[in-house]
Structure 1
Amino acid sequence: MKTYFVDAFTHQPFKGNPAAVCLPERDLEADTMQQIAMEIGFSETAFIKPLAAGTYSIRFFTPKKEIPLCGHATLAASKIIFETTTLQEIVFINCEAVRLPIGKADNKIVMQFPVYETAALEVPNALLDALGIDAPINTRYSTKNKIILIEIQHAAVLAGLAPDFVALVQSYTDINGVLVTAQGNTADVDFHYRYFWPWAGTNEDPVTGGVQTFLTKYWAEKLHKNKLNAFQSSLRTGSMTTELINNQVLIYGEAVTLFEGIFKIDTGL
């Protein structure tokens, strides 16, 4: 099985968020894809299969479970298709039959994702304590994504968070993760964020595109602008531009291909 490693949401190797992109030559069972994702160990591994000219199915697996939508692995898969074919536009279809049109603009890959709503949520003190947060500005919940959103006052505080992940998992159940965000403190960044998801994936996702399905709308309404620059202040760091257009969000990003090889899936599976 042809397999690629791609650093997404960056133009520099060893930055952004690494994803694996797998191109199986035959259908694989979900258990096999899960084992492969566990073996690779990245926050997401994408499996893509051509369905028609320019249209591909895409499935995403963390080391723990399959998830329906992932921004950085979609970007990574797009990067590989654009590098290995002459296509300029493609469409991915995920496990929920959601269409994800992909194109190019200004030397960046542009992904079109749906927009999901958030609702007010009271967050327990135990969760805030585990994150190291004293006084959040706002707390909301994305039901579709099963992600808690917490806005705090300062981007510098956000960058310095060092969660207690054991306590964090014990503080809340039946969610995929917690996203903490703060308004940008420089002219070139509108908002910062970090995403912690030990419930469904890894302790921290280095750069997360899928959360823009609700985070872009949150900041667009708050800042009264539809096109925004986002920075994920994880250890690896990463950046993207997003644009809210009606009930869709455009995510503009770059990616770097680091590895190309063969995964020998017929031995022992």
Structure 2
Amino acid sequence: MKTYFVDSFTNQKYKGNPAAVCLPERDLDAAEMQSIAAEIGFSETAFIKPLTGNTYSIRFFSPKTEIPLCGHATLASSKIVFSTTSLDSITFINYDNVELAIEKEDQKIKMFFPVYDTEETDVPQKMLDSLGISEVVSKRYSPNNKIILIEIGSAGELAELKPDFTALVNSHTGISGVLVTAASDHTDFDFHYRYFWPWAGTNEDPVTGGIQTFLTKYWALKLNKTKLNAYQSSLRTGTMSTELLQDKVSILGEAVIVLEGEFIL
């Protein structure tokens, strides 16, 4: 099975978020795809298959479970399709039949994702303690993503967080992850964020695009602007530009191919 490793949301190798992109020549069942994703061990592995024209099916698996939507693995998959075909635009369809329109834009790739609302929520004190957060600006919840959003007051504090992941995963049930965000202290960016998801994937995702389905709208309303620049202050770091449209969010990023090979099925 043709397989690629791609670093997403970066223009440098060994930065951003690595994803595996697999192009199976036969149908694989969910159990087999899950085993492959666990073997590779990245936060997500994408499996893509051409359907008709410029339309592809796409499925995402973390080492633990199937994920309905993933930004960095969609970006990685787009990079592979654009690098191996003459296409300038493609549409991915996930297993929920959500259509993800993708366009090539010079050396970058623009993805159009759905927009989701958030609602007020309570966050257990045990969760805040496990994250090392003492003061909270806002607490929201994205029902579509099953992700808690916590805004804190300092991008510097965000970068220094050292969660106790054992305590974190025991502090809440029924969620996929918790997103911590703060206004940027740098003129090049509007907001910073980090994403922790030991419930469904790895302890911390290096760079996360899928959360922009609700995070871009959150900051767009707060900052009263529709075009935003985001910085993920993880160890590997990553950046992207987003824009809140009427019923979509566009996510603009770069990706670098670092490995091409064959997975033996």
Fold shared by both chains (TM-score > 0.5): yes
- Deviation of residue 174 (structure 1)? 0.6
Write the deviation string for residues 130-177 of structure 1: whole angstroms up to 9, x where unpaired: 000001100000000000000000000000000000000110001000
State the partner residue of 1:43: 43
Equivalent-residue separation in structure 2 for 1:177 and 1:72 (angstroms): 16
8 Å contact kept, 2:196–2:205: yes
Mark the runs of 5 or more structure 2 residues left unpaired by the alignment: none
- Deviation of residue 107 (structure 1)? 2.5
State the partner residue of 2:262: 262
DSSP 3-state at the match of 1:186 = coil
- Deviation of residue 106 (structure 1)? 4.3
State the partner residue of 2:124: 124
- Is 2:109 aligned against 1:112? no
DSSP 3-state at the match of 1:52 = coil
Mark the runs of 5 or more structure 1 residues left unpaired by the alignment: none
- Deviation of residue 46 (structure 1)? 0.1
DSSP 3-state at the match of 1:171 = coil
State the partner residue of 1:138: 138
Read off the aligned partner of 2:191 and give its amino acid letter: F
Read off the aligned partner of 1:253 and give its amino acid letter: G
- Is 2:200 aligned against 1:200? yes
Write the deviation string for residues 223-243 of structure 1: whole angstroms up to 9, x where unpaired: 000000000000000000000
What does residue range 173-188 of structure 1 map to in structure 2 within 5 Å?
173-188=173-188
Equivalent-residue separation in structure 2 for 1:39 and 1:31 (angstroms): 12
State the partner residue of 1:228: 228
- Is 2:8 aligned against 1:8? yes
Equivalent-residue separation in structure 2 for 1:154 and 1:106 (angstroms): 34
Equivalent-residue separation in structure 1 for 2:12 and 2:199 (angstroms): 29
8 Å contact kept, 2:82–2:104: no
DSSP 3-state at the match of 2:190 = strand
- Is 2:189 aligned against 1:189? yes
- Deviation of residue 216 (structure 1)? 0.1
State the partner residue of 2:147: 147
Read off the aligned partner of 1:115 and give its amino acid letter: V
Write the deviation string for residues 18-48 of structure 1: whole angstroms up to 9, x where unpaired: 0000000000010000000000000000000
DSSP 3-state at the match of 2:235 = coil
Pairwise CA RMSD of aligned residues? 0.5
Equivalent-residue separation in structure 2 for 1:162 and 1:89 (angstroms): 40
User: Which TM-score applies when normalising by structure 1?
Assistant: 0.98
Count of aligned pairs: 265
DSSP 3-state at the match of 1:97 = coil
State the partner residue of 1:211: 211
Write the deviation string for residues 73-127 of structure 1: whole angstroms up to 9, x where unpaired: 0000000000000000000000100000000224310000000110000101000
DSSP 3-state at the match of 2:163 = coil
What does residue range 155-174 of structure 1 map to in structure 2 within 5 Å?
155-174=155-174
State the partner residue of 1:237: 237
Equivalent-residue separation in structure 1 for 2:92 and 2:194 (angstroms): 26
Read off the aligned partner of 1:206 and give its amino acid letter: P
State the partner residue of 1:250: 250
Read off the aligned partner of 1:105 and give its amino acid letter: E
